[in-house]
Amino acid sequence: MRVMSAGSRKRIEREVGATRAEFLRALALAHSPGVEALGPDTYRVRSGDVVLDISLFEAPPRRIALIEIPVLKAVYEFVQGGGPDCEVLLAKLDRAMQRGGG
C-alpha cells in the first residue's frame, strides 16, 4: 500500500486481482447504501462524514503457471473525512475484496 497526502486528502494506490465487474460487485456488497458512478472508471462512496473517490485502471494480468489473474490498479482518494472513520471504511472495503484461498 502506498499512502500519499495532497493537502488534506489522503491517497492510497493498490493493485487488486479482480475484473472491473468483480471489483464493483465487492464494492456494492461492502457498501450497501450504494456507490455513485462519477464517470466510466471513477466511483464515489459516502459513509457518514467520509467521502471516498475510487478510480480504476486496468493493469497487465499476472500469470502463475497456466493461470492468468486480471489486475486492476485502484486509486482511493479520501475527499472528505479523516482519521478513524476513513480507516473503518477502508477496512470494510478491504474485507470485501478478499478472496478465499487454500
Contacts for 13 with CB less than 8 Å, ≥ 6 apart:
1, 2, 4, 73, 74, 75, 76
* Adjacent-strand bridge partners of 73: 15, 57
pLDDT at position 7 is 53
Cell numbers found for residue 102:
487454500
Using the Cα atoms of residue 92, residue 34, residue 46 and residue 41 in order, give the sign of their dihedral. Answer: positive
The boundaries of the domain holding residue 6 are 2-97
CATH of the domain at 57: 3.30.1370.80
pTM over 0.75? The answer is yes
Over 60: is that where the pLDDT of 99 sits?
Answer: yes
pLDDT digits (tens, 9 = 90+) for 29-83: 888 787 899 998 999 999 989 999 999 999 999 999 999 999 999 999 999 988 8
Asked if residue 102 belongs to a domain, the reply is no
pLDDT for 12 beyond 70? yes
11, part of any domain: yes
How many domains in the chain?
A: 1
* pLDDT-derived band at 101, boundaries 50, 70, 90: low
